[in-house]
Amino acid sequence: MAAHNELGKWGEDLAAGYLQRKGYTIVERDWKSGHRDIDIIASDENGTLVFIEVKTRRNRLFGDPEDAVDYRKLQSLRSAMNHYIKYHCIDAEVRLDIITVVGIMGEEPEIEHIIDVAL
């Protein structure tokens, strides 16, 4: 596996563990809709279905990880979310969150959870 793929997988694993410690239930990981994907789909304590985009970086030299979730990425996420909701006939509150992970394997990373990103 390429180094950037390993870093991304590590970040997603950390994000999933973080969510579970916060009381979320992981529903799916790496859900795909054609060429679009959703990193984590979880349910919070209120029954809200939460779609989570995870961004992992080694450092902040080239900006904050959440800056990579630009207009085009939001469009792609919106499309994938709509497909998931229709495919699974979801009738619940939904939202989009971003979790950023900054660090390297073997060290304690910074994890930030940005709740309810505007679509």
pLDDT digits (tens, 9 = 90+) for 27-57: 999 999 888 999 999 999 999 999 999 999 9
Q: What is the pLDDT of residue 118?
A: 83
Closest by Cα among 46, 19, 38 to 88: 38
**Is the pLDDT assigned to residue 62 strictly greater than 90?**
no
The predicted structure's pLDDT at residue 13: 96
- The span from the CA of 114 to the CA of 6, in Å, is 23
Cβ partners under 8 Å of residue 107, min gap 6: none
| Mean per-residue pLDDT of the chain | 94
pTM of the prediction? Answer: 0.93
Residue 39, Cβ density class (10 Å: 0-12 exposed, 13-18 middle, ≥19 buried): buried
Query: pLDDT value at position 50?
Result: 98
Region 10-33: what's the mean pLDDT?
A: 96
